[in-house]
Every structure is written in structure tokens, then in C-alpha cells.
Amino acid sequence: MRNETISAIEEHKVFAIVRGLSPENVRPTMNALVEGGIRLVEVTFDRKNGEENTLAALDILATDFSEQLIYGAGTVTTTEQVEKVKALGGQFIVSPDFNPEVIKKTRELEMVSLPGVMTPTEAVQADAAGADFIKLFPGGLLGPGYLAALSAPLSDLKFIAVGGVNADNIPEFANAGAVGFGIGSNLVNNSIIENRDFDKIYQSACDYKQAIESIRK
């Protein structure tokens, strides 16, 4: 399963990052993403408001979308959270930081590890600790130029650009060395969900699908 998840990430490339989604909005949001061609979904933990909605969303994904989506959790900062995600069928763990204990637990539980880094030192340390992909965060603030400078001497690492990535700048990040892209509010915006404009999420998903197809050519 681990190898299948790694292959799926390399193939589909775009992660929809979902934050603060109430349980009643999970199914229509996921349906819009699936119909638009998205196959990777990261449901983030909420450090301020607790874990309830995150775990509820993961439970719905496990029940209703396990055949359609590769899913996992983001903002994972403890080994206990890793265990909870595994229990709900999650296949990958994304963190905002480099935490060797989180990486170790992720690998022990046969999930894919994507820790967040900002510097070459962190990137090399995360790789040595067992990370499968290296999440460059905040990608938009640092920009494609920084990623290009980082990935040039570390070309064996698989970088995921997260933060400030959109359908227009995906080619720039790809040329700079990114093999995947984490998309948050540019794809799943909570104000759109509150208005129940799920067709807009579908259209955005289609745009990202097209952006990925363009960099394959």
C-alpha cells in the first residue's frame, strides 16, 4: 500500500488541502473534487479548535471515498495523531515541521511521510529520517526561485510545493523541481463551501487537472 500511495502522489500531483470542514459539507466537497479530477486529499488538524471535525471528515472518507481518493492528514505534529489517522485508513501524513518522531511513527505504520521544511539542512535531515517527500513550506512565500536553488544540489529529493501555489504558477514550480503541489484555499475555500457553491470547487478542480496535464506534455 505504501508504494501504491507513493506512485499515486507522483502520478496525480495535486493535493486538495481541506481545513475546518464541517461533517455535513464533507461529502458534497469531496464529490466536487472527485468529479473535477482530484485524487489526493489532505484533511488538516486544527490546533486551535480541536480534532473533532478532522477525525469526522477522515471517517467519512474511509466510509464513502476509499475507492476514489488517496487521503491523509495534515498539520500532524504528534505521534498520537499519526495513530489516529492510520486507524481511519489514512495513507499519508503531512506536517508543517520536521519532527523525526512523527516521521518514524508514520513509517512504522506503513504510511507515506511528507514533513515540512524550509532549509537545505532540514531537507537533508528529513530525508535521512525516512521522509518519502519533502514539503517546501511556505512555497509561495519562498517562490519557485528558492525551490530551484534548493533542489539543484538535492535533486534526489522529491519536493512538494505548498502555500501560494495556484493553477497559473504550477509550471514554474514544476520547472523548479516540484513533483507535487498542495493547494488549500485556492481550491477548497471555506467561504465557497458556506455558500454551498460546490460547482465552483468542481471548476477549480478541473483547472488544476488541466494544469497538471500541461506539465506532462
Any catalytic annotation for residue 13? no
Within 10 Å of residue 194's Cβ, how many Cβ atoms?
A: 10
The burial of 217, by beta-carbon neighbours within 10 Å (0-12 exposed, 13-18 middle, 19 or more buried), is given as exposed
Give the separation between CA 27 and CA 24, rounded to whole angstroms: 7
- Exactly one of 86, 135, 158, 209 is catalytic; name it: 135
Which candidate in 13, 42, 105, 209 is catalytic?
42
Strand 14-18 to 40-44 pairing: parallel
Q: Which amino acid is at 204?
A: S
Record the cell numbers describing residue 160, joined without a space: 512538494
Helical ranges in 49-189 per DSSP H: 52-64, 79-87, 100-108, 120-129, 139-151, 170-176
84 counts as catalytic: no
Residues carrying an active site annotation: 42, 135
